[in-house]
Amino acid sequence: MAIFSVKLQEIVERFNLIPISECDRIDGILIKTSDINRPGLQLAGFLEYFGSDRMQIMGMAEIAYLGQLGEGERQARLDKFFQQRFPCLVVARQLEIFPEIIEVSKKYRIPILQTVDVTSAFMSGVIRFLNVKLAPRISKHGVLVEVYGEGILIQGESGVGKSETALEIVKRGHRLIADDLVEIRRVSDTTLLGSAPDSIRHFIEIRGIGLLDVKNLYGVGSVKIQENVNLVINLELWDKAKNYERVGINEEYTSILGINVPSHTIPVRPGRNLAIIVEVAAMNYRQKKMGYNAAQALIGRTIGLEMDDGEEEDDDQG
């Protein structure tokens, strides 16, 4: 599996970090893990199992601990800590940065940065950012739209009508995320996040017309930067020999980056309004999430009617 990285410069810009020391080389430093460390144990001298590839964050507790040490002891502790060659150190709350920190920063050429945010808020924000940026990813040929708050990935052979369906969905008040190529990232064990490549974001291709800028045609409310992939709809030309699902008892799933996503296979033939079908599929998916399954309700009702008929026959015989 490919290993992705983020330039430290991008994190500095995203979180408005203040450069303090050795920041002339941050554009060449790559962050390859979303794990972040507060070096309490390391400053106390325990350096086993230390992740040297992690960003280091000092908050009020770490700075207060260093403040209780004498200058010589503080220098020795910081020197051992900086010997681990981590990517950078960020000091939260704009707390005091001791001269010894600046000194060892220059010695080992490790950037020192500062943020006005409190430690926990900054850490959670950076972890969320890195989880998205460093997530395993895959590109899928298809269309991603948001319908009633659900991310719907529409797939199918070229020319089956994916883009036309997406355009009709946008006209009905929903939003386009990506057309033709969808970049999907696994941001957690249960969540897939889809977006469009920067070069084709907000554009849609309609055969016979060409490229359309959906944002300019329908307004900023018609598009979205990214959305979770909640449901997959596979469009295919109608095959008379194939038996398509008619009741909905058997659940179908599509595996994307190891996560099983609920899916439907929709046969395409002239006269079918695919946009309405996608809308209904989204609403039905939301109902299932809220605990209501129409197919199971119908089966339960049928069983109830059969039981009632059986009781009436027993009464007649009695």
Percent of the chain with pLDDT over 70: 94
Q: Which residues pair with 227 in a beta bridge?
A: 194
Is 171 catalytic? The answer is no
Residue-level pLDDT at 299: 79
**In the predicted structure, residue 292 carries a pLDDT above the cut 60:** yes
pLDDT band at 315 (very low <50, low <70, confident <90, very high): low
Residue 80 bears catalytic tag: no
Q: Phi/psi of residue 277, each to 5°?
A: -65, -40
Catalytic position from the list 189, 246, 315, 316: 246
Flag the least confident range among 19-33, 71-85, 283-297.
Answer: 283-297
Lowest mean pLDDT among 74-83, 87-96, 267-276: 267-276
Q: Which amino acid is at 56?
A: Q
The DSSP secondary structure of 225-294, one letter per residue, reads SEEE--EEEEEEE--TTS---SS--S-EEEEETTEEEEEEEEEE-TT--HHHHHHHHHHHHHHHHTT--H
Contact 266, 279 (CB under 8 A): no
Domain ranges of the chain: 6-133, 137-295
| Percent of the chain whose predicted confidence (pLDDT) is above 90 | 77
Is 202 marked active-site? no
Average pLDDT over residues 81-99: 95
- Kindly report which listed range (5-14, 123-132, 233-242) carries the lowest average pLDDT score: 233-242
Residue whose token pair is 């055969």:
207
CA distance 66 to 98: 9
**269: confidence class by pLDDT, cuts 50, 70, 90:** confident
The domain covering 6-133 belongs, at the CATH homologous superfamily level, to HprK N-terminal domain-like (3.40.1390.20)
User: How far is 173 from 148, CA to CA, in rounded Å?
Assistant: 9
If you average pLDDT over residues 136-149, what whole number do you get?
95
- pTM for the model: 0.79
Choose the catalytic residue: 14, 106, 109, 141.
141
Q: Is 246 a catalytic residue?
A: yes
Q: Which pLDDT does position 10 carry in this prediction? A: 96
In whole angstroms, what is the distance from residue 38 CA to residue 29 CA? 20
Active-site choice (54, 137, 140, 162) = 162
* Phi (first) and psi of residue 79, to 5 degrees: -65, -45
Catalytic residue among 137, 174, 180, 224, which? 180
Answer yes or no: CATH 3.10.20.30 is held by domain 137-295.
Answer: no
**pLDDT of 310 higher than 60:** no
Write the pLDDT tens digit of every residue in 20-49: 999 998 999 999 999 999 999 999 999 999
Query: Residue 104 burial (CB < 10 Å; 0-12/13-18/19+)?
Result: buried
Q: What is the mean pLDDT of residues 220-241?
A: 92
